[in-house]
Structure formats: C-alpha cells, structure tokens
Copies of this chain bind each other. A is one copy, B any other.
C-alpha cells in the first residue's frame, strides 16, 4: 500500500541510501541518477515515514499548542495565527485542549504526546510556576501572564498598562462609577490580577475612590459569566455608568444583560472589553476593546521555540512583550 525507501530504491535500481539522499536534497548525486530516483518517487507516490525519520533524527516537525478551550474566540484566533506562523517553519501544530484545570495542564506541560513533539506553546490558566520547575521535557513557550518568572520562555502583553488605558478612556468620557468584571479570587488568576491592578491605578490617578461593590468576580470568562455578573450587579442595586470587562466575551455577555435590563449602551452605561475578538466588531453596539497583536504574539512564540530548537536550549528564559492597542468603538462612543 504505502511504499518505503526500499521500494523506491528497487524500482530505480539504486541503494536505499541514494534514495534517501535524493529525498533529503543531498548535493552529490549524479543528475541522471537523481532523475531516475525522482521518477520512481513520483510513480510510487513515496511519502516518508515521519516516525522513522523522527526516531533517527530526534525531530518530528510537530509542535503542540495547548489552550484551555478552543471555542473561546480569543484562543481560536490565537490558534489560527500559531498554525500559520508554524507553517512558515515547516511545522505542523498539534492542538491540545486542557480545559484550564490544573491537573490536565500539568499533564500537558509534562509532555503531550511525549517524543512526538519538538516543542510546546502553552497558554495555561491555573498552572503555577512550581508546576513547571522540574520539567525536563521539550522546550516550552508560555503565553499570557499567568505564570510569573517561571523557568520557561514567555510572551506577554502589558496587561497593567492596557487595563489602565481602557479605564482612563472610560474616565475620559466622564464616567466615574466604573465596574470591573472578571476578577478572579484564585491565586492563579494572574491575568485578572494585572488587569485589576491597571484598573485601580487609573482610578487612583483620576482621584476616584475604589468601590469594591463595583468589582465583580467571575468563575470563568465566558459570555454567560459576563451576563450573570452584570445581572447580579444590577440586582444588588449597584448602578455603574461604565463597565470594564477583562475579556470581550465577558463584555458581550454584559451587553446582553444591560440590554435585558433596558439600559442603553453607551448612553446609560459605557462598556469596554479586552482581546479584540471578531464578534466585537459586529456586535450591536460594536465593542470598545484592547487589541493585543495576536499575530505578533503567535510569531514571537513560534520564533522563541525555533531559537530553542536551533540550539541554545540552555539560554536563560526570555520574556517578550507584544504590543496592544486601545480600540474605541460604539460601546464607548
């Protein structure tokens, strides 16, 4: 069914090694021989057995991307860019869905598919630095600010600054009762913590007091969580004039809840999100958000991995910051 080097070699009347040389672009093969081998390759539709090649070379050409959930638009968009960036290096991407739980994430970090992958790009939710210390697995690049000063390479955005900019933007509209949605009480929610810090910093700069009733924690960052948080906030009698959600999905849920409560956006309540997912560009109203440069994040991560695979496995961990941009739209017009 499937042919091996040996079959091609027999057909071309050369040795297995010569076929291998042709396949791998080795220089010193006589044009006539090369032509004969190439004809045989085409006739038999030869495709290398990557497992065997990998066993021999120690490389698979496959990297893994581990994300909490694929159907969260931010991760889906990120995955798209990672797959594209990996393709530039000739790599295939194996995607792992961790669910965000600590145990599954530890398993993923410890080695998805083990020797099947050359490297791992990992966007953890609940993993701590401790979980990563004693890993002797493949090179890893972490995405997002969840694990501080871990032993691995890291691509982040400046969450604090971004959150401060959004909040300042809302304050600039004359809003003073600004809710923050998406805080995470767990110690692992580093992203949430940083965004909350930016929010607080902006309030302080503007001389606005911090009101904990305006800060809503959510178990996750899905639309339903955002809607529930807003419903709860409004039901408790707290009436914000702006809402900063820590993700766009939260914000879209919030928009929905505000709509149900009969409040107009942005007239009554301005709303801003974070992530710049495509939904926010078509929602009613369109969503003001922080746009992290996802393509850049993906490319930086892949390039970091390429560097590790290229040799310097023992260089100290690097941390790169991708740019972001505040993108005002109708929800804060």
Contacts and interface: CB of A to CB of B under 8 A. Distances in A.
B71 A278 contact: yes
Contacts of A49: 55, 114-115
Interface string A281-301: 111101000000000000000
Given A79-B95, A93-B94, A282-B252, A113 B55 contact: no
Nearest to A76: B76
Contacts of A255: 282, 284
A1 interface: yes
Nearest to A258: B284
A28 interface: no
Given A223-B278, A282-B253, A76 B84 contact: no
Contacts of A13: none
A94 B97 contact: no
Given A80-B97, A95-B83, A113 B223 contact: no
Contact of A252 (B83, B222, B259, B279): B279
Interface in A85-105: 92-97
Contacts of A54: 51
B278 A114 contact: no
Interface residues on A, range: 35 or more
A266 to B, nearest CB: 14
B96 A92 contact: yes
Nearest to A47: B114
A113 B92 contact: yes
A94 B54 CA distance: 17
A220 interface: no
Given A1-B136, A115-B50, A80 B71 contact: yes
Contacts of A284: 255-256, 259, 283-284
B279 A48 contact: no
A47 B2 contact: no
A50 B283 contact: no
A124 B11 CA distance: 35
A32 interface: no
B71 A115 contact: no
Q: Please indicate which of the listed interface residues A77, A93, A94 has the most CB atoms of chain B within 10 Å of its own CB.
A: A94
A120 interface: no
A77 B222 CA distance: 14
A274 to B, nearest CB: 17
A56 B110 CA distance: 24
Q: Please indicate which of the listed interface residues A51, A114, A222 has the most CB atoms of chain B within 10 Å of its own CB.
A: A51
Given A47-B114, A70-B77, A256-B284, 5 more contacts: A1-B136, A50-B115, A70-B70, A71-B79, A252-B283
8 contacts: A49-B55, A52-B55, A55-B55, A70-B70, A73-B76, A95-B95, A256-B284, A284-B284
